[in-house]
Homo-oligomer: A and B are copies of this chain.
Amino acid sequence: MPDSAIRPRKEFGKTIAADITHRLREEIIACAVAPGEPLRFDVLRERFGASFTTLREALTALAAEGLVDAQEQRGFRVAPVSRQDLTEVTDARVLIEVELIRRAIEKGDDDWEIAVISTLHRLKRIEQRDPEHPLRDPEWKIAHRQFHQALVSACGSATLLAIRAELFDRAERYRHLSANFRPRPRDKAGEHQAIMQAAISRNADLAVQLIEAHIRSTADNVATYAGHLLDAE
Contacts and interface: CB of A to CB of B under 8 A. Distances in A.
Interface of A: 13-15, 17-18, 53, 56-57, 60-61, 63-66, 72-73, 85, 88-89, 91-92, 95-96, 99, 157-160, 162-163, 167
Contacts of A14: 72-73
A15 B72 contact: yes
Contacts of A85: 159
Nearest to A17: B60
A35 to B, nearest CB: 16
Nearest to A163: B163
9 contacts: A15-B72, A17-B60, A57-B57, A57-B60, A61-B61, A64-B65, A91-B157, A91-B160, A92-B160
A160 B72 contact: no
Task: Specify how many copies of this chain sit in the oligomer.
Answer: 2
A61 to B, nearest CB: 5
Nearest to A62: B64
A158 B53 CA distance: 29
Nearest to A100: B95
Contact of A13 (B60, B72, B157): B72
Contacts of A163: 92, 163
Contacts of A63: 61
Contacts of A13: 72
Nearest to A166: B163
A72 B167 CA distance: 24
Given A53-B56, A57-B60, A89-B159, 8 more contacts: A53-B53, A60-B61, A60-B64, A61-B64, A66-B159, A66-B162, A85-B159, A95-B95
